[in-house]
Structure 1
Amino acid sequence: MTLTTSERTAAANPARLHNVTRRVISRAVKDLWPNKRVVLGQPCPSVTSYVCRIRVDSETLIAKYSWLGMSLVSVLRGAGGTWKDVRQAQEAYLRSTDLVTAREARNLEVLRELGRPRVCETAAFHQGVLLTRLVPGTTLADELTARPWETGDLLDAALAALGDLHGPAGVRLLGGARPINERSVAGVFRRKFNSLSADVYLKALGRDSGLPEYVREDVVELVQHTVWRLLRMGGAISPGRRVAVYGDLKPEHVYVDGPRLHFIDPAVHWAGGPHPDIAKLIGRSLLLAICHPDQEAGQQIVRGIASTLNRQASAVPAPDRADWLREVLVLWLMDTVNILSTCLSAPHGLPLAPHQQALVAQAHTVAGIVHRVSGLLTGTMAGPRLLDLVFSEVEHTTGRKW
């Protein structure tokens, strides 16, 4: 496709990326099914890959496309260079073995071999476009909102469904998978903040967010201090390849259909233990509670999170419990800073999901929580007392009685 002068010299913008991606997806689907009627739906809000629904005759599929393996926010902020640079690099990327959508397609096959957790079915993979079928039920995020008093049971069920993946069977099968290590919590955190450009990135947070400038500056300062602390806590994260983890375990990626759960969007990789999955699930659920407009519902969600975390900790041998809890908490803070900074960096025109919009609106509260909790982790306190203090800090910062 010929680029205009403007496209050769300008950075990517949401409208341009949207239009080109839809043409790519449409061509791929029509190439797969030339005799079928193809209708693209509206994009699903995403800050990572481009995702949209697509109708192929009478069936609705989910289409996913990745630009350079980067988040859409990074591409739109110029991390890949000009739009010409991005388009040229994308041609080589689509031919590489590192293509994220290709690895996800393979990992879905591996997870289906494992059998548990249940994952979405792959309809096709072609020209970098991953097409998956819809799964039944409603998201765990919606279930937590609708049934906050059942939070503990819902989170326990999601983690229990990963038992085989976290065990010996998962380790054996991951040998045939293609790990997406760059989507790990610690990997994303280090890539964002352990570089010369990190300070520039942090100072620019929220410039297009609509937050008042005095609030934005306060958020930036709180996040900066948190990042500096967490970088020094990297030693708390277990090294090694002992356990396979789902990798992107958040409430929007788990669907509840009665007693059955289905999982979407895996980022399977190796970890030193199941800590990343636990940390991301409880951390993203906590954000739902903090941003919930109903204080009572938020209280119930937080209580359920605390009970799940306590149950998970109690299953760890007593001598290892303090280190286990510290690692989960460090990863929780890293993941929260990752998603907060990404949402605050989203440019105008890139749609955010409602819960991401709520996170931006509550950025000062969330930044205050990660700052205060990271301060706790610099001390020597450990075990149940530390966990009690963590939730006390959440209560103090939000002004809510959990």
Structure 2
Amino acid sequence: MALTVPAPRGPGLMPPTVEVVLAYAADQTVKAAQSLWPHSTVQAGEVAPSVTSYVQRVQVDGRPLYGKLPILGASLVSVLRGVRGDWATVKAAQAAYAQAPDSLVRREGQQLMTLAAAGVRVPRVAGCAGGVLFTEPVPGPTLGELIAREPHRTALLLGRVADQIGRGLTRPGVAARVDRVAIRERSITDTFQRKFAAGSSTYLRDTGHGELLGVVIGRLREVPVRPAPFQPVIYGDLKPEHAVFPSGPDGPVVFLDPGLQRGRPCADVAKVVSRTVLGLVAEPLPPEDARAVLSGITAFTARLTAEMEPDDQEAWLRQFLLLWLMDTVNILTTYLSAPAGLPLSAQAAAVVERAEVVCQMLEHATVSMASRAPAGSWWRVCLDDAVWAVVA
């Protein structure tokens, strides 16, 4: 079970500043590298924009690596907004968390090794110390980049990603190992429930769209969900940037940043679709290409559900749509509440610029969710709303 670090924001306590947190993370990353390779030359490189973990390039005797430092297993935005307390509280708690055997980076390192043993291609783990996980970079285009280049191959590309990770996750022994090091922090539903607990407006306060998003969240909360009798292992954080094709679109896939856990089979599909649509909103393709991507997503989901019984197909599709919209709300509110000075990726910054469009897409899509109409009708509404958001 993951270490819990209770550090509520107290009255009158100032949240940590961006400059202090980033300087601390940079220092800890270099110190961790020096502790792992004490006789080597460590050079700090550029910081990768992120709203979740601190990620920095480093070179150890010229060997390129990525150092990843999650603070208290929470997102950087949460830490910087004071959700974990003031800086003195966070720093003291992080010192203990970094050494905990079940810290996020230790579990992620173990998950990467589990995936490698199961025949899934992943980055090589170079070392882990001081709360920092070091991995080797994986060059090549990501799933998102390939979809943008070849929109008419969307269904094929998504299918190859799903097939390769699916074979690995169902190998004997994988589930037992994952149960010991599960990363629930990356669960769509857990994140949604944690951020939007009943009566809480903490994460909506600074978004600039709190009233509309509050309506959306209320609707998402009310959707009935059929119990899932069996929860298989899922990847847990399957985003377009987490699937890399080093040899191009027809070669093997390398998977980054796992969040292995038990979950609904549609959860991975929901997250990759959510982030793919946001990618289209952020960097719109020509309308015909955008429609080709969404048609590819439709064909991909149809393939996944083709052999299901009608009732199972209905339940899968309804849960998939719910998780898609939940994930979009989760990441949109994180982007919108990021404090000034925290570097955002180009896509995140573009989503912030078009936040009104995304909010309107979510509002219209969730109007249909309480209907007794078949899930297929809601699915068509969501696709139409996605097309509108992309070309708006």
TM-score scaled by length of structure 1:
0.88
Q: Which residue of 1 aligns with 2:311?
A: 319
Q: Give distance in 2, aligned partners of 1:31 and 1:168.
A: 35
CA gap 1:55/1:171 in 2 versus in 1, 3 angstroms: closer
Q: How far 1:122 sits from its partner (Å)?
A: 0.4
Q: Tell me if the contact between 1:325 and 1:383 (Cα under 8 Å) persists in the aligned partners.
A: yes
Q: Give distance in 2, aligned partners of 1:334 and 1:275.
A: 13
* Structure 1 residue identity aligned to 2:291: Q
Q: Which residue of 2 aligns with 1:74?
A: 78
Q: Which residue of 1 aligns with 2:320?
A: 328
Q: Tell me if the contact between 2:277 and 2:386 (Cα under 8 Å) persists in the aligned partners.
A: no
CA gap 1:368/1:86 in 2 versus in 1, 3 angstroms: same
Q: Tell me if the contact between 1:107 and 1:177 (Cα under 8 Å) persists in the aligned partners.
A: no
Q: Tell me if the contact between 1:189 and 1:338 (Cα under 8 Å) persists in the aligned partners.
A: yes
Return the match for 2:277 from 264, 286, 296: 286
Q: Give distance in 2, aligned partners of 1:168 and 1:104.
A: 19
Q: Which residue of 2 aligns with 1:202?
A: 204
Contiguous gaps of at least 5 residues in structure 2:
1-12
Q: Tell me if the contact between 1:136 and 1:262 (Cα under 8 Å) persists in the aligned partners.
A: no
Q: Which residue of 2 aligns with 1:6?
A: none
Q: How far 1:176 sits from its partner (Å)?
A: 6.0
Q: Give distance in 1, aligned partners of 2:307 and 2:50.
A: 35
Q: Give distance in 2, aligned partners of 1:351 and 1:102.
A: 25
Q: Tell me if the contact between 2:290 and 2:390 (Cα under 8 Å) persists in the aligned partners.
A: no
Say whether residues 1:189 and 2:180 are aligned partners.
Answer: no
Q: How far 1:285 sits from its partner (Å)?
A: 0.7
CA gap 1:293/1:320 in 2 versus in 1, 3 angstroms: closer
* Structure 2 residue identity aligned to 1:292: E
Alignment of 1:81-100 (within 5 A): 81-100=85-104
State the secondary structure of the residue aligned to 1:21.
Answer: helix
Q: Give distance in 2, aligned partners of 1:250 and 1:100.
A: 18
Say whether residues 1:352 and 2:344 are aligned partners.
Answer: yes
Q: How far 1:173 sits from its partner (Å)?
A: 4.3
Q: Tell me if the contact between 1:52 and 1:63 (Cα under 8 Å) persists in the aligned partners.
A: yes
Return the match for 2:215 from 225, 245, 255: 225
Q: Tell me if the contact between 2:244 and 2:255 (Cα under 8 Å) persists in the aligned partners.
A: yes
Q: Give distance in 2, aligned partners of 1:70 and 1:355.
A: 21
Return the match for 1:101 from 86, 91, 105: 105
Q: Give distance in 2, aligned partners of 1:302 and 1:329.
A: 14
State the secondary structure of the residue aligned to 1:142.
Answer: helix
Q: How far 1:352 sits from its partner (Å)?
A: 0.7
Q: Tell me if the contact between 2:284 and 2:391 (Cα under 8 Å) persists in the aligned partners.
A: no
Q: How far 1:353 sits from its partner (Å)?
A: 0.7
Q: Give distance in 2, aligned partners of 1:225 and 1:245.
A: 30
Q: Which residue of 2 aligns with 1:264?
A: 256
Return the match for 1:133 from 131, 136, 148: 136
Q: Give distance in 2, aligned partners of 1:131 and 1:74.
A: 23
Per-residue deviation, residues 117-169 of structure 1 (Å, max 9, x unmatched): x1111000111110011123211122122222221211111111122245363
Structure with a larger share of its residues in helix:
1
Q: Which residue of 1 aligns with 2:118?
A: 114
Q: Give distance in 1, aligned partners of 2:127 and 2:50.
A: 21
Compare 139-148 and 77-86 and name the one that shifted more: 139-148
Return the match for 1:36 from 31, 40, 43: 40
Return the match for 1:337 from 325, 329, 345: 329
Q: Tell me if the contact between 1:321 and 1:383 (Cα under 8 Å) persists in the aligned partners.
A: no
Q: How far 1:195 sits from its partner (Å)?
A: 4.2
Q: Give distance in 1, aligned partners of 2:103 and 2:330.
A: 22
Q: Tell me if the contact between 1:110 and 1:177 (Cα under 8 Å) persists in the aligned partners.
A: no
Q: Give distance in 2, aligned partners of 1:358 and 1:274.
A: 30
Q: Give distance in 2, aligned partners of 1:232 and 1:250.
A: 26
* Structure 1 residue identity aligned to 2:297: I
Say whether residues 1:254 and 2:243 are aligned partners.
Answer: yes
State the secondary structure of the residue aligned to 2:341.
Answer: coil
Say whether residues 1:155 and 2:158 are aligned partners.
Answer: yes
The total of aligned residue pairs comes to 377
RMSD of aligned Cα (Å): 2.0
* Structure 2 residue identity aligned to 1:139: T
* Structure 2 residue identity aligned to 1:124: G
Q: Give distance in 2, aligned partners of 1:183 and 1:397.
A: 26
Per-residue deviation, residues 203-262 of structure 1 (Å, max 9, x unmatched): 321xxxxxxxxxx3xx322211110011112x4264465200111100011101231100
State the secondary structure of the residue aligned to 1:260.
Answer: coil
CA gap 1:341/1:75 in 2 versus in 1, 3 angstroms: same
* Structure 2 residue identity aligned to 1:243: P
Contiguous gaps of at least 5 residues in structure 1:
1-8, 206-215
CA gap 1:45/1:241 in 2 versus in 1, 3 angstroms: farther
Q: Give distance in 2, aligned partners of 1:221 and 1:176.
A: 39
Q: Which residue of 2 aligns with 1:208?
A: none
Q: How far 1:294 sits from its partner (Å)?
A: 3.0
Q: Tell me if the contact between 1:285 and 1:305 (Cα under 8 Å) persists in the aligned partners.
A: no
Q: How far 1:331 sits from its partner (Å)?
A: 0.4
State the secondary structure of the residue aligned to 2:128.
Answer: strand
Say whether residues 1:309 and 2:311 are aligned partners.
Answer: no
State the secondary structure of the residue aligned to 1:64.
Answer: strand
Q: Tell me if the contact between 1:108 and 1:122 (Cα under 8 Å) persists in the aligned partners.
A: yes
